[in-house]
């Protein structure tokens, strides 16, 4: 047998610590536990900004002034209605399809209807960023209605992005607390450095493919439980635990079985994820007004147990963004399997901003692999093979 050879370059598993390019969009400080969008700490944005302002900030590079913000609101509202052909297509998706799978397919189809689909210029890309952001919310809500045997609820023009989404899910105007909670969630997840789905979007964009293809790549990447489906898995885990009393024995069993605790650990943060602090606060606030606080109590207790466990302490494993997203979204009355699509509805802002940043200074992203297989094997004719 020929020798396996080692190439002169060595592979970094999971590209950990590898700097792929530069970005001005967001800075993740994993040691201090800080996150900035275009230089603004999420501490300011979570407390003061609207989702529309944050979207504009990420796309345009500065906070909008009064006339810019009314224009961005107007433009986002104007493109809320999805092409009718798409709603018909959603009716053909199997009703038991995971919503993320339905979203992946429908965003691919959305590209066919976009008048700017093949134009990668900056103005057309900005228009597509608006349409993708507005219509993704409409399509997620429409699929949820359709799978429940109902007709999609048309978007309202007078509500902000978050409130309109909750309205399209239920047909009822949400409370201020519920819509601000969802808006804060959407703000906190809008961008996050070179996370896996953003990287996937940028790789696709770097081949000079089109915006919709890049977003489809990103959705497919976000769908995994190690990334955007961790919020759904975290909720399933809290529901499986079932009662605060069960937390400790459940945790000991999970550890013995070497199960991962969903919503815990992060590639970059070695402290508590700064977004988790806000989501925890939000969940606490919601527990006083709506829903079932039991899930939150379980999450709080499990965090306490994890934070005292030497295995987790040594590895610096703390709650990440998905941990408290789970009880917060649950208390907003959102179905668990929709959670990853809500993550996508927020991150689409970052994805589209990254695609535009990539195209502003493009170079094909094409890393290498360290080859560790055999070489120069002798050819064996078919009849002589074992």
**Residue 271 and residue 256: Cα distance in Å, rounded?**
24
Place of tokens 């796309």: 59
Query: Is 44 near ligand COA (CB under 6 A)?
Result: no
CB 327 within 8 A of CB 299: yes
| Residue from 322, 325, 339, 359 binding ligand COA (CB under 6 A) | 322
How big is the CA angle at 265 (ends 260 and 268), to the nearest 5 degrees? Answer: 145
| Residue from 2, 7, 14, 47 binding ligand COA (CB under 6 A) | 14
Query: Is 316 near ligand COA (CB under 6 A)?
Result: no
Query: Is 237 near ligand COA (CB under 6 A)?
Result: no
Name the minimum Å distance from CB 268 to ligand COA: 8
Our CB check for ligand COA shows the closer of 227 and 277 to be 227
Select the span of 74-82, 241-249, 292-300, 320-328 touching ligand COA (CB under 6 A): 320-328
Q: Report the chain's C-alpha Rg in angstroms.
A: 22
Our CB check for ligand COA shows the closer of 267 and 277 to be 267
H-helix or E-strand spanning residue 27: strand 26-29
For 81, 110, 196, 346, the CA distances from 78, given in Å and listed in that order, are: 8, 16, 31, 19
Judged by CB under 6 A, the number of residues near ligand COA is 17
**Catalytic residue numbers?**
266, 322
Q: Which residue is nearest to ligand COA (CB)?
A: 265
State whether the Cα torsion 372-365-135-323 is positive or negative: positive
Select the span of 93-101, 201-209, 225-233, 326-334 touching ligand COA (CB under 6 A): 225-233
Our CB check for ligand COA shows the closer of 104 and 266 to be 266
Place of tokens 């900004």: 49
CB 301 within 8 A of CB 243: no
Query: Is 85 near ligand COA (CB under 6 A)?
Result: no
Query: Is 317 near ligand COA (CB under 6 A)?
Result: yes
Query: Is 261 near ligand COA (CB under 6 A)?
Result: yes
What six digits make up the tokens of 178? 């519920």
**Residue 179 and residue 238: Cα distance in Å, rounded?**
24
Residues at the site binding ligand COA, with contacts judged by CB under 6 A: 14, 226-227, 230, 260-267, 315, 317, 320-322
């Amino acid at each position: 047998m020929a020798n396996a050879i080692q190439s002169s370059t060595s592979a970094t598993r999971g590209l950990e610590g590898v700097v792929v390019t530069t970005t001005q969009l967001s800075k993740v400080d994993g040691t201090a536990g800080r996150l900035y969008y275009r230089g603004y700490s999420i501490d300011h944005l979570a407390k003061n900004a609207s989702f529309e302002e944050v979207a504009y900030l990420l796309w345009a590079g500065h906070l909008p002034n009064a006339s810019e913000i009314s224009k961005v609101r107007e433009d986002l509202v104007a493109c809320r209605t999805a092409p009718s052909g798409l709603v018909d297509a959603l009716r053909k998706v199997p009703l038991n399809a995971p919503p993320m799978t339905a979203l992946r397919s429908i965003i691919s189809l959305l590209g066919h209807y976009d008048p700017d689909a093949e134009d990668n210029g900056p103005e057309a890309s900005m228009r597509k960023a608006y349409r993708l952001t507005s219509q993704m919310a409409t399509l997620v809500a429409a699929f949820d209605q359709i799978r429940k045997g109902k007709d999609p609820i048309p978007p309202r023009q007078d509500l902000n992005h978050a409130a309109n989404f909750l309205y399209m899910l239920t047909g009822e105007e949400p409370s201020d607390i519920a819509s601000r909670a969802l808006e804060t969630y959407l703000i906190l997840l809008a961008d996050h450095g070179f996370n896996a789905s953003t990287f996937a979007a940028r790789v696709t964009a770097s081949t000079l493919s089109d915006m919709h293809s890049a977003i489809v790549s990103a959705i497919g990447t976000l769908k995994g439980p190690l990334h955007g489906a961790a919020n759904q898995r975290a909720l399933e885990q809290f529901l499986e635990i079932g009662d605060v009393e069960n937390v400790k024995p459940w945790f000991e069993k999970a550890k013995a079985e070497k199960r991962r605790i969903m919503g815990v650990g992060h590639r970059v943060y070695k402290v508590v994820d700064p977004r988790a602090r806000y989501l925890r606060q939000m969940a606490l606030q919601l527990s006083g007004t709506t829903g079932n606080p039991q899930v939150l109590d379980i999450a709080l207790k499990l965090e306490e147990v994890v934070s005292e466990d030497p295995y987790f302490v040594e590895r610096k494993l703390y709650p990440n963004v998905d941990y408290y997203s789970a009880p917060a979204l649950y208390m907003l009355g959102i179905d668990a399997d929709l959670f990853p699509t809500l993550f996508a509805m927020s991150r689409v802002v970052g994805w589209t901003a990254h695609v535009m940043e990539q195209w502003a200074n493009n170079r094909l992203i094409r890393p290498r692999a360290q080859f560790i297989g055999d070489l120069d094997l002798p050819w064996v004719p078919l009849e002589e093979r074992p």
